[in-house]
A and B are shown apart, each in its own frame.
Chain A
Amino acid sequence: MAATTTVPLAENPFAADVDERLPPPSTLVLFGATGDLAARKLLPAVYDLLADGRLPERFRLLAVVRGSQDEASFRVHVRQAIDAHARRALDDRLWDALEPRIGVVAGDYGSPELFRALAARLDADDERDGGPTQRLFYLAISPAFFADTARGLCEAGLGRGADPPTRLLIEKPFGRDLASARELNAAIESAFEERQVFRIDHYLGKETVQNLLVLRFGNGIFEPLWNRTAIDHVQITVAEDIGIGHRAGYYDRAGALRDVIQNHALQLLSLVAMEPPASFDADLVRDEKAKALHAVRPLDPRLDAARGQYAAGWLGGERVPGYREEEDVPADSRTDTYAALRVEVDNWRWAGVPFYLRTGKRLPLRTTEIAIAFRPAPHQPFRGLDRPPPPNELVISVQPNEGATLQIAAKMPGTALRMRPVQMDFQYGTSFLRESPEAYERLLHDALLGDATLFTRADEVEAAWQIVEPVLKAWADPESDVPEPYDAGTPGPRSADELLAQDGRAWRPL
């Protein structure tokens, strides 16, 4: 048959018929590939994405390691990490498909040689495998190396303007105060465009956090009530029952305010407080989150903040040591292991509605939740009640039991008029009897697709540091009071209770 020339279809005729697009051909370059985060979260997430058929046909994993680890031993490490931590059982057929896609580049992060070798390896792999791949650089390394690594990548032609396209994925902490965050952002901006930078706050990958947006903007009944007229206050709790483990080196320099409030808790606040975006476009969502953070009234550390440090106590039937008795913690440490803030969002929607944020270690239980406390009914027509019905409360549980509970008052059966709070309960685990993807699966997949909606933008990071900056400064003053001790296994220091008591309120029980 004679050859004919055909004009290709302008559009992919199959694209509209799929429920989910596969990412384009990609190489995930993992710095810190032998670290704890990679072993527990990132490598298992890659495997689970593969098992779910969500990786492109041409996908490679390239580990950047220090020292002399070779490909064979790194592959063994990956297999062990998957076996120990992936959601899905290790399947030999899948492993056989993944294993040859795993490569290693070894070198010193501070050496330009490493980045040149990396660039050469990426090009060689692309050429061997039949075409260019987008390159994602995931820095699962100490934040101290973020700026230099970004610069090294850029100098090797893998940053701004790179072809094939590149992205940079980094994880908190993004600085340790406003000045260092600005410095880090500037350093990264000199090497990558902001649209190439994906800052990970893994809370945003959690199903319930995303569901918060659906709850607010996908239901007609909540948004009319989502303001100062109906809401009395909001409580955001990130409670941990564990201590600091072996992380004293990091934690004693950070503390609870930096470790959790500045990022996770303020991200949750921004999602609760933001205005509806015009669409679910990454920048429109992040514009609204940033606006909410910018609307936070400057904090007065004396009136709006409380801190504590856990002392020895009993937790879950076990005696546990105090913070200053933990391995590698100085005996005179002034680090906060508990932090609470009273935050006001100065805009029309939230004027006069306080947001109370708390986080702590060695608290009685592990829970992350957002509690929306509604105002009581303005008039009670019921006579002879022992006490007024409890106000309505919507509690969005982020972990460990993802779901939402609405508390309403109901009449108890009987001839007398008595009311009790009852709960309308929605749990992911019982309403949708299937496993949610891990936060890192979702975030890695979004990064591969280039969807930045669930990633934090530079201006959000800086706005969040700006909020906590006055408190950080006050607490850093050596003349300030030391953090108030609280016994491990109790809900926190008394000063945190007083923070709400001054407003006539109390924390939800832990």
Chain B
Amino acid sequence: MKIKWRKILLKIHLYGGLLCFWYLLIFGISALYFQHHFRFMENKNIPALVSTKKQLRIDPANTDSVVATNIQNSLDVAGWYLPWETYRDSAGNFHTMIANPQWDYSIVYNFQNSISTISAKQKSFWNLLIALHGFAGKMPNAPLLFIWNIYTYVCIAVVLLSIFSGIWLWSGRKRQRLTGWLIFSGIIFLSFSLMIFIYKHG
């Protein structure tokens, strides 16, 4: 039985493209933002929204990074603690900050009464969307983000495959296919030439 490669490839191209539809849109929006920093996407100066107090048992003898991680895990806050915002003040309070695409948490922990004060500042929705650009999905206390991580790799593979299969599918005629490959090779050559030029001259 003769395998209909063209038909199979068209299906992969079609379904793969549909699977990556939203990823490509988010990728386009975020990439444009990285170049132009549109004002409407920036975080507004929203004041600290929530301030709560919680009692925690944290060992002060540990290093700052361990203390910050223990506080974060005890509070079950998703995000990354910021080492440059982590310190102990003269009164003995421990300060740290945990950031994630949606919130910035400022945490002050008092070792004497074991009370932590958490102030949360919300970021804009755009910030969240932009954070999905190439998001590796390894955020502490947010285990299900691995789905987006897998999705990212799938989209990379599909887009690369789509470029090559798209040219192949472009036309059934060999001559046009050759033209497609030549145009594609030319574009890749120009793209890499530009990279080399910038690498050499800045």
Q: Are A and B co-members of a single complex?
A: no
Chain B residues in contact with chain A, CB under 8 A? none
